[in-house]
Amino acid sequence: MTREWETQVEIVYEQEKEIEAGEMIETYVFDHETYEKVYVKAIISKEPARLHDGERLWIRDFKGKLQPEPWAIKIIETQEPPWVAE
């Protein structure tokens, strides 16, 4: 794992079934160093060993604290957020 990302716990809960099934989801993540927001299509796993080619994904709780153990994310594609007008 080379790059590290962050997301918020509410995003994980909103798409919990898809994540547990190993399905690709559309969501946003933040670069762990620059905090740049990126909208992505990705596969997320609570168990990093299941995504061998994934990167670290840190989860922030409702109070903004990072959970003690990272998850994993494999970004398939970055894209423009759907709410951006053309």
> Which pLDDT score is estimated for 5?
96
Listed in sequence order, the residues at least 6 apart from 1 whose beta carbon sits closer than 8 Å to its beta carbon are 48, 54, 55, 56, 72
Closest CA to 59 of 43, 78, 40, 46: 46
Mean pLDDT by 10 residues, the chain (86 residues): 87 91 94 92 94 93 92 93 63
Ordered by start, the domain boundaries in the chain are 4-79
Best CA proximity match to 31, nearest among 3, 59, 51: 3
Which residue type, as a one-letter code, is found at position 55? Answer: E
Report pTM: 0.86
Q: Give me Rg for the CA atoms of the chain.
A: 12
